[in-house]
Amino acid sequence: MRPRRGLVSSSVWAQRLRQLEHRLRTKEERIVVLETENAVLHLKLAEYEGLAGRSTNEVLQLYAAHGQQMKFQRSSVVTQLHGAIKRLKQDLKSLHSFALELSKDLQHQSKTCLYQVLAAVQGIQLQNEAMQMFQIKAFDLEQSLQEVTERYEKEKQKRKALHNSLIELRGNIRVHCRIRPLLPFDDAAGHSQDRQRNFSEKVAYAADDETILVKCSRPGHASVNKTFQFERVYNDLESQDAIFADVAPLLTSLLDGYNVCIMAYGQTGSGKTYTMLGPQLEGNLAFTTEEESELGIIPRATQEVFRLISEKPPGSYWVEVSVVEVYNNEIFDLLAKDSCGKVFGIKRDVVTTREGKSDVPLLTHETVENASEFLHLVNKGLQLRVTHPTMVHAHSSRSHLVVTLTITTVVFGDNFGTLWEDEQTSQRLNKEASFTFTQKMRDNKSTSSSRASSPVQLEATEKMKQVKTRLQLVDLAGSECVGMSGVTGAVLRETSFINRSLSALADVLGATAEQRAHIPYRNSKLTHLLQDSVGGDAKLLVMVCISPGQKYLTESMQSLGFGTRARQVQRGQIKKKNFPVPSKGK
């Protein structure tokens, strides 16, 4: 068996060898092919290498050319850039110098500003200090002002009390006497029985400031000198200024809460209207500056009242005016207007109110703001005043003219202690205030248009009261006897009314002098109208006007008798009040 097995394996090996030899030949063939290809490739490579060598040269040339171009380009850009840089540098330089200057400037300015700020701060500090000082000073001043105001108030009250005492010492009724100068019309012959005498001879003289001397002579008798004493006697040379100087203190009393009446008494032509109004003011109030010195008591008193009011707190006072004429015992409202606004006198009546005051219902009261408004109104009123030429004087007034200024004082608070220290006045005015307050409210319901123009809205305040004081300025009608004026008929009737009212006035003054319980105010419209300013604590000044000529002796003596009688009232009052009799000095 064994040799068989060896035969098999050697054939396998031979086959195997053949296979390997075949594979070897295939490989060798393949190598040859590859070597051929390789040679071809080498050739191609050599060719390409040649090509590549040529291209590199070209590239190098191109590169060189490109490099040169670039160089060229670069150099021009560089030049440009250089220029630009140069310019930039220059700009930068100028910018730098500008910035430098600017910063220097800014530095300088900021320094200046800083100094200014510092100075301002210092100033403010100083001002603050000064302000503080001022505040302290202002506070001190305020305090001292308050003290001074309080002291002033006290002094004011004292002044009022003293002023009133002074006026009372002088007499609540004062009688002054004015002798006018002799005038051309004094030469004309009168109706005296005694035609042999020199009519223009002067018989009345001011012996001194308080005495008037009258030479009384009758035919066949030795002349007798009679003297009369008054609080003040004015000679014929004394000016309107001098007259008013003695009247002015009464106006202070008016604003202190007292009613005041100033009246001129005397025969026609004795200077009543001249004294009360002035020469230009009877019917014509247009006066020049020079004529202003001739103004009488009425315009001057009004000016003084407004001056006194201007010293008071604004709005606390207002003034109303009424102008009436008492003619033939009738009262005429000279400021009343009809529906067309035309002025004409309307008859009014005087009544006594429940409170015992005199009142003229529906009387026109015009509110005035100053003296010229007042004069304008009075002028309007005067144009209606009834005049009638008598034989004594061509412009004699046959009526009593009563110009009334009503001063309304607005008082705040519960009492008048602050305004009127003196207990009596304060109480009196307290009573009157509540009266006038309600009265005013009533009046306003049926008021005349002019009343409505007063500041009634002020009355709305409950704590506010109104006090009214009156200044009555009276130009009385002539006091002459009927026989002397040479009148008859209607004029005689006029004269008789005038004489009756004047004697009623004398009776009122007489009754007051005797301290009678009943004062006959209601015997005439004149006294009824003047009731509140004649008697009581009202201040009355009677200006007795005297014509100095012989021709008027009888009338002058009558007027001096009236003045003397009125003056006794004052004496009576002083005695009653235990005041010392005033010394004769002015």
Report the interface residues with ligand ADP, using CB under 6 A.
Answer: 180-181, 183, 266, 268-274, 279, 393, 395-397, 478, 545
Residue with smaller CB distance to ligand ADP, 180 or 470? 180
Residue with smaller CB distance to ligand ADP, 203 or 407? 203
From the list ligand ADP, Mg ion, none, partner contacted by residue 269 (C-beta under 5 to 8 A by kind) = ligand ADP
The CB-of-396 to Mg ion minimum distance in angstroms stands at 6
Tokens of 32: 């040859």
Q: Is there a binding annotation on residue 268?
A: yes
What is the Cα–Cα distance from 491 to 499, expressed in whole angstroms?
Answer: 12
Contact 407, 469 (CB under 8 A): yes
The CB-of-273 to ligand ADP minimum distance in angstroms stands at 3
Contact 586, 232 (CB under 8 A): yes
The CB-of-398 to ligand ADP minimum distance in angstroms stands at 10
Contact 262, 249 (CB under 8 A): no
- Residue 533 to residues 65, 245, 288, 470, 528, Cα–Cα distance (Å): 139, 21, 33, 7, 10
Q: Is there a binding annotation on residue 267?
A: yes
From the list Mg ion, ligand ADP, none, partner contacted by residue 181 (C-beta under 5 to 8 A by kind) = ligand ADP
Q: Which residue is nearest to Mg ion (CB)?
A: 273
Residue with smaller CB distance to ligand ADP, 238 or 366? 238
From the list Mg ion, ligand ADP, none, partner contacted by residue 345 (C-beta under 5 to 8 A by kind) = none
Q: In one letter, which amino acid is 528?
A: H
Residue with smaller CB distance to Mg ion, 387 or 503? 387
With 0-12 / 13-18 / 19 or more C-beta atoms within 10 angstroms meaning exposed / middle / buried, residue 385 is buried
The CB-of-475 to ligand ADP minimum distance in angstroms stands at 7
Q: Is there a binding annotation on residue 396?
A: no
The CB-of-179 to ligand ADP minimum distance in angstroms stands at 8
Contact 272, 374 (CB under 8 A): no
The CB-of-269 to ligand ADP minimum distance in angstroms stands at 5
Q: Which residue is nearest to ligand ADP (CB)?
A: 271
Q: Is there a binding annotation on residue 273?
A: yes
According to DSSP, the residues that pair with 366 across neighbouring strands are: 321
Give the list of residues 6+ apart from residue 199 with CB closer than 8 angstroms, or none.
186, 187, 188, 189, 190, 192, 549, 550, 551
From the list ligand ADP, Mg ion, none, partner contacted by residue 82 (C-beta under 5 to 8 A by kind) = none
Q: Is there a binding annotation on residue 512?
A: no
Residue with smaller CB distance to Mg ion, 273 or 436? 273
Residue with smaller CB distance to ligand ADP, 294 or 359? 294
The pattern of x and - marking residues 268 through 297 that bind Mg ion according to CB under 5 A reads: ----xx------------------------
Site for Mg ion in 387-446 (CB under 5 A): 397
Q: In one letter, which amino acid is 45?
A: L
What is the Cα–Cα distance from 230 to 560, expressed in whole angstroms?
Answer: 9
What is the Cα–Cα distance from 447 to 141, expressed in whole angstroms?
Answer: 48
Residue with smaller CB distance to ligand ADP, 53 or 181? 181
What b/e sequence results for 263-291 when a residue is b if at least 16 CB atoms lie within 10 Å of its CB, and e otherwise? bbbbbbbbbbbbbbbbebbbeebebeeee
Give the list of residues 6+ apart from residue 424 with CB closer than 8 angstroms, or none.
537
Q: Is there a binding annotation on residue 272?
A: yes
Summarize as ranges the residues that interact with Mg ion (CB under 5 A).
Answer: 272-273, 397
Going by the annotation, the residues of the binding site for ATP are: 266-273
